[in-house]
A = this chain, B = another copy of it.
């Protein structure tokens, strides 16, 4: 196994619950893990192949008419690799936040443009929040309390909600500060003119 290569664990983890095709894995990621983990087809299919040559998964073909789908199942070797991964402290995200970068250069840039950026992001975050809450309600009704996944899936959702709320709070604070600051500097200009 190479240095990082996290995609493999995402895929192994999905197969832990039940055998799945590449396409199904992709769909689950799109529906359930989109806010913290995504993988494109171009990484899922080759990774499944790779895991099979390593003996971590095995596959069988299933046909619906002429249409083939390859169903992958995790092997004991695969389960072992997954279990090893869970023991290692999760790596912290490396943040690369373009908005913060722009803000950092705010003093040598245009304040109006910075404000515009903040408003656009605020709008997006509010939509994200709404979206999370919709998922939460539609989710709660679909999954039974006895499903052991529910607890954990709720936690990942809750993380999205809490982070989004924090972002919204921060954005509103920044906007406030910049707007006050703008008014203040306009006043100063006027006073200078009066003199």
Interface residues of A (CB under 8 A from B): 6, 9-10, 13, 16-17, 32-33, 35-38, 82-83, 85-87, 89-110, 113-114, 117, 120-121, 124, 147-149, 151-153, 155-156, 158-159, 162-163, 165-167, 169-170, 173-174, 177-178, 181
The reply to whether B159 and A100 contact each other, CB–CB distance below 8 Å, is: yes
The reply to whether B93 and A97 contact each other, CB–CB distance below 8 Å, is: yes
What is the CB-to-nearest-CB distance from A57 to chain B, in angstroms, rounded to a whole number?
15
> Which of B86, B108, B147, B177 has a CB less than 8 Å from the CB of A102?
B86
The reply to whether B37 and A101 contact each other, CB–CB distance below 8 Å, is: yes
Given the complex, which residues of B lie within 8 Å of A181, measured CB to CB? Answer: 151
Given the complex, which residues of B lie within 8 Å of A174, measured CB to CB? Answer: 155, 158
The reply to whether A155 and B107 contact each other, CB–CB distance below 8 Å, is: no
With contacts A103-B152, A155-B103, A163-B166 known, is A92 near B124, CB below 8 A? yes
What is the CB-to-nearest-CB distance from A118 to chain B, in angstroms, rounded to a whole number?
9
The reply to whether A96 and B99 contact each other, CB–CB distance below 8 Å, is: no
**Cα distance A177–B93 when bound, in Å?**
24
